[in-house]
Structure 1
Amino acid sequence: MPSLTLPDPGLDPLPSATPRIVSAARVILAAGEPPVADGAVVIDGRHIVWTGPGSQLPHDYADLPRTDHPGATILPGLIETHAHLGSYASRLTPDVPDPSRHRAAWTALSSVATARQLASVGVTTVQSLGSPYFADVALREAIATGLGAGPRIVAAGPQLTTTGGHAWSNGAEVDSVTDIRRAVRRHHKAGTDLIKVMATGGFMTARTDPWKAQFTTEELRVLVEEAHRLGKHTAAHAHGTEGIRRAVDAGVDYIAHASFIGEDGRTDVDLELIDRIAERGIFVDTCSPPTRPPVEGETISPRAAELFQRGVRLVTGHDIGAVLPPSAYTFGLKQLEASGLPRVEVLRAATSTAAAAAGLAGVAGVLAPGYSADLIVAAGDPLADLSALDSLLEIVIAGRTFRPDPVIPYVPGSGRHAVDRTQDLRAARGEALERRRRHPVHPA
C-alpha cells in the first residue's frame, strides 16, 4: 500500500535537511552589532551552521544551493511577544458569521489565520498571551510537526483571571491560592510554555476597571512560584499602577501594557516602580496601542523612550488579535521609533530581547551557529529606514522558506481596529463614577 504524504502548504519544496546558503548585501547578525557587508548565512536543517562575509565562506559550503538578494538585508526573524491568536478572524470584516455557535472550532481556525498573517509580515516567533481551549498549544504542535506552516508559537493557553474579571469569557477563573495552584498545574498538564495572569481589569470586559488590581500580591506570588517550579515563565496583564506594583513584588517575568493608571483613572507614573522593574530585568511591552504622543492628563502609558532611558527591557508586544491586526506589526515598530526609541533599539526589542522575553534566549533572535534558522530578507536597509521591513523578499522559519499569504493592509485608526485607549479610559472612568453614584460606599 503506498504511503500517504500529507500536504505541506506554505513551505518551500526543499527538504528541511537540505543545506543551503542565503546571501545579501548586508547581514544583521544581532541588533546592535555592525552589519556584515556582502554576508551569507548557511542553513542546515532547522539550524544555522555558519555566518559571515561571503568571501570567507568555508570551502565545504562552496557548492551548496544559494539564494542571493542583491541590495537587500538579512536579519533575524521578528518576534511578537503579545498576541491573541484566536481573536483576529472575527475582526476581518463585519460580514464574518457569529463565531459563538462553533466557538472552539472558530478559535482554532482563527488561530491558524492569525499565525499565518503574522508569518507573512516577517514574524517568525509568536508568544501567545491568552487562548481559549488551549488552541495555541495545539497550533504550536501542528506547526512544529509540519502539519502546517507558520511561526514558532510560545503558548500560554487561557489566561488566569478572577471570577467575572477581565477576559473571563476567554480565561480560567480562579479565586483562591488553591485555585491558582490547580490552574497552573492544569496548564502545565495541557502543555503550555508560560502562565498569563490578568493582574488588573481591562478595557474590553464589562464591569472591570483597568486601574483596579484583581489579585493580591500573595496570590500572584503563589502563581509565579508554582509556574517557575514547573519551568514556566510568567506574564501579567497590568494597566493599573497598584496591579503593576503587586506583579513586580510577586516576581513576574513580563508585564503587558504597563499603563500606570491610578485609582482615579488618571495617569499615575511611578518612577521608583519603573526603576524596580528595570533592576529586576522584567520585560515590558507598551505597544498596545502603538505608542503615540501623550495627551496631557490622558496618557495611557509612559512613552517608551522614558522606560528605555530608565533601563527597562522593552519588547514588541502589540496585543495582536485583541486590539490590532497582524499587518500592524511593522507600523508598531515605526511608532516605537517615533516615540523616541533609537532605531537599533527597536530592532533589538523585536529580536534578541523579545526572544529572551519568550524564553528563547540562545534559540532565536540572533543569527549565529546553533540558533534556529529564523530569518527575513528585507528589500533595503532597516537600519536606515524601518520601512524596509514592509517589503520582504524571503521569510525563513526553522530552516524552511515560508510562502506568505496576501496581507490585509493596516490603515491606522480604521475599521474594526480603530482603538482609541484615551476615549476608552474616559469611558471607563465615567462608568466607574456612575456605579459609585448608584451604589455609594458608606463608611462603617
Structure 2
Amino acid sequence: MRSGSGRVTERKLGTVETLITADQVLAGPAGTRITDGAVLVDGAEIVAVGPRAELETRVSGTTKRRDFPGCTVLPGLIDCHVHLAFDASADPVTNVRELDDKALLAGMAERARQLLDNGVTTVRDLGDRGALAVRLRDAIEQGEHPGPRIVAATVPLTVPGGHCWFLGGEVSGEQEIRAMVRENAARGAEVIKVMVTGGGLTKGGAETWESQFGFDDIRVAVEEAHGLGLPVAAHAHGSAGIADSVAAGVDTIEHCTWMAENGFEVLEDVVTEIAAKGIAVCTGASPNWRKFAERFGEDRAAEIFGRVRWMSEQGVRLIAGTDAGVPNAVFDNFAGSLDFYRFLGFPGEQILDMATRDAAEALHLGTHTGRLAPGYRADVLVVGGDPVADLDAVRDVRLVLAGGRQHTPVTGC
C-alpha cells in the first residue's frame, strides 16, 4: 500500500476544528492507505489529511479530538440508486398511493436516517412523487433532519400507464418529454430519470425486458436535460433499451441486466461502447440479492451475476446502488448490497471505490465528495477494523460526518 498526506490549509475563523484519528485512513482510492492517520475537519469542509503525528503539530489548543483506535477512516459511502418514497414492504406502491404528503415525507425522513446510520452520506433518489425528495433534501441541508445529501430525480419519465406511472411522470411525444424535463428541473431535480424499459414493480405495464421509449424519445430527454446541465439515468433492463440508451448518450444505466423476450442477449459491441463513453452502470444490487438467486434459480442467477463481473473486466465502470425501497430492498443494510460484489470475487479496494470515488464521479460530484482531501465536503465514515481486508468492517459504524455534521448511529449496524 502507498502512503500519502494532504497539505494543511488555513483554518477558517468562527468554526471549531475536529481532528479524527485512527489506525488508518483510506483517503481514496481505497488502495491508498495512511497508517496511523488523521483527518482534520473545519465546519463542513475537510482541511487536512495525513499522518497523525504531522497533523497533531499543526492544530490549535481548541481543536476537538475524536480518537478511534483499531478503526479505519474512509470517505462517506454513496448509494447511487434509492427510492426514499418506497418503504421496502411487499407492496410499496399501494403505500405511496394511499399516504398523504405529510405521512410519506415523514417515512422518507426516517429512511434517510437509516441510510446515515449505515455510513451512507450521499444518495441518488431516482424517483419520487411530487418532488418530496427535494423537500427532504432541503430540510436535511438546513439541519432539520439527520440524513445524507440527496441528489434527487423527482418524477421519473415514463409512458402513459408505464413503469411507475403512479408517480406522475407520464409523457408521450417530444413536446411532453421536454416539458417534463423542464418541470423537473424547475422543481429542483439534479438528475433526470427515464424509464426506458418496463419493470416488475408496475402491474399491467410493459414487461421488464420490453422497451417503453425508443432511441428518438431518449435522445430528446438527453438533449433537454443536458441543455439544462442535468445528467440522465436510464432504467434499462432489456438489451434493446440498453442499446438505445447508450446511443442516445445517457450518463448512467440502471440495472443493465440484458434481458430479452426469450432470455438474455448481451450485445458485446454495446458493452464496448459503454466502456468507451464512460457511461457508469449501477446494477442496483439489493441487499436481498441472495433471495433473487433463490427465486430465479441458480443457473439463471449465475448467468446474470457473472455478466456483472464480465462487464467490469471489459472496462465498464460499476457504481454501488441498492434500489432501496422496492420490496425487501431495505435501507439499513448497505453492506449487504456490497456483499454481492464480494461474492463475485471483486477485491475490497474496488468495492469500496465503487461506493465512494467512482460513485461520486458518476454523479458529477467527484470534485466535492467521494475522497478525503483538503477542500472536499466533510463526508467522513469511521468503522471498526479494516474494510479493505474484511468488508464486514463496514457494518461496524462508529462515527459518521455528513457535510461536517457529526452523527452517531441510533443502533448498532
Matching residue's letter, 1:379: G
Q: 1:27 aligns with which of 5, 25, 28?
A: 25
Matching residue's letter, 1:244: I
Q: Structure 1 CA distance, aligned partners of 2:162 and 2:271?
A: 26
Matching residue's letter, 1:110: G
Identify the residue that residue 208 of structure 2 maps to in structure 1: 210
Q: 1:275 aligns with which of 268, 272, 277?
A: 272
How many corresponding residue pairs? 390
Pair 1:304-2:304 in alignment: no
1:25-76 per-position Cα deviation (integer Å, ceiling 9, x unaligned) = 0000003433101100000110000000011116441531111001100000
Of all paired residues, the percent bearing the same amino acid is 38
Matching residue's letter, 1:75: L
Deviates more, 1:157-166 or 1:30-39: 30-39
The alignment partner of 1:224 has SS state of helix
Pair 1:44-2:42 in alignment: yes
1:255-290 per-position Cα deviation (integer Å, ceiling 9, x unaligned) = 1100100132x1212222111111111111113345
Pair 1:373-2:378 in alignment: yes
Matching residue's letter, 2:367: G
Q: Structure 2 CA distance, aligned partners of 1:74 and 1:60?
A: 20
The alignment partner of 2:46 has SS state of strand
Q: Structure 1 CA distance, aligned partners of 2:305 and 2:223?
A: 28
Pair 1:316-2:314 in alignment: no
1:11-90 to structure 2, matched below 5 A, reads 17-57=15-55, 59-63=57-61, 64-88=63-87
| Residues 284 and 314 in structure 1, CA contact (< 8 A), matched pair in contact too | yes
Q: 1:219 aligns with which of 217, 220, 226?
A: 217
The alignment partner of 1:383 has SS state of coil
Matching residue's letter, 1:142: A
Shift of 1:228: 0.8
Identify the residue that residue 351 of structure 2 maps to in structure 1: 346
The alignment partner of 2:131 has SS state of helix
1:116-141 per-position Cα deviation (integer Å, ceiling 9, x unaligned) = 10000000001100011101111111
Identify the residue that residue 360 of structure 1 maps to in structure 2: 365
Identify the residue that residue 236 of structure 1 maps to in structure 2: 234
Matching residue's letter, 1:368: A
Shift of 1:302: 4.8
Shift of 1:92: 9.1
Could you say if the C-alpha distance between residues 359 and 404 of structure 1 is closer, same or farther in structure 2, counting changes exceeding 3 Å? same
Could you say if the C-alpha distance between residues 305 and 101 of structure 1 is closer, same or farther in structure 2, counting changes exceeding 3 Å? closer
1:425-436 to structure 2, matched below 5 A, reads none
Q: Structure 2 CA distance, aligned partners of 1:103 and 1:167?
A: 18
Q: Structure 2 CA distance, aligned partners of 1:123 and 1:257?
A: 20
Q: 2:411 aligns with which of 406, 415, 420?
A: 406
1:68-88 per-position Cα deviation (integer Å, ceiling 9, x unaligned) = 001100000000000000111
Could you say if the C-alpha distance between residues 33 and 72 of structure 1 is closer, same or farther in structure 2, counting changes exceeding 3 Å? same
Q: Structure 2 CA distance, aligned partners of 1:301 and 1:56?
A: 45
| Residues 383 and 394 in structure 2, CA contact (< 8 A), matched pair in contact too | yes
Pick the structure with greater CA Rg: 1
Shift of 1:103: 3.1
The alignment partner of 2:272 has SS state of helix
Identify the residue that residue 286 of structure 1 maps to in structure 2: 283
TM-score (norm 1): 0.84
TM-score (norm 2): 0.90
Matching residue's letter, 1:146: G
| Residues 134 and 157 in structure 1, CA contact (< 8 A), matched pair in contact too | yes
Could you say if the C-alpha distance between residues 378 and 58 of structure 1 is closer, same or farther in structure 2, counting changes exceeding 3 Å? closer
Identify the residue that residue 250 of structure 1 maps to in structure 2: 248
Could you say if the C-alpha distance between residues 16 and 255 of structure 1 is closer, same or farther in structure 2, counting changes exceeding 3 Å? farther
Q: Structure 2 CA distance, aligned partners of 1:234 and 1:109?
A: 28
Identify the residue that residue 134 of structure 2 maps to in structure 1: 137
Shift of 1:194: 0.7
Q: Structure 1 CA distance, aligned partners of 2:279 and 2:410?
A: 35
The alignment partner of 1:320 has SS state of coil
Shift of 1:318: 1.0
The alignment partner of 1:23 has SS state of strand
Matching residue's letter, 2:299: E
| Residues 132 and 157 in structure 1, CA contact (< 8 A), matched pair in contact too | yes
| Residues 398 and 409 in structure 2, CA contact (< 8 A), matched pair in contact too | no
Q: Structure 1 CA distance, aligned partners of 2:33 and 2:46?
A: 17
Identify the residue that residue 6 of structure 2 maps to in structure 1: none
Q: CA RMSD in A?
A: 2.2
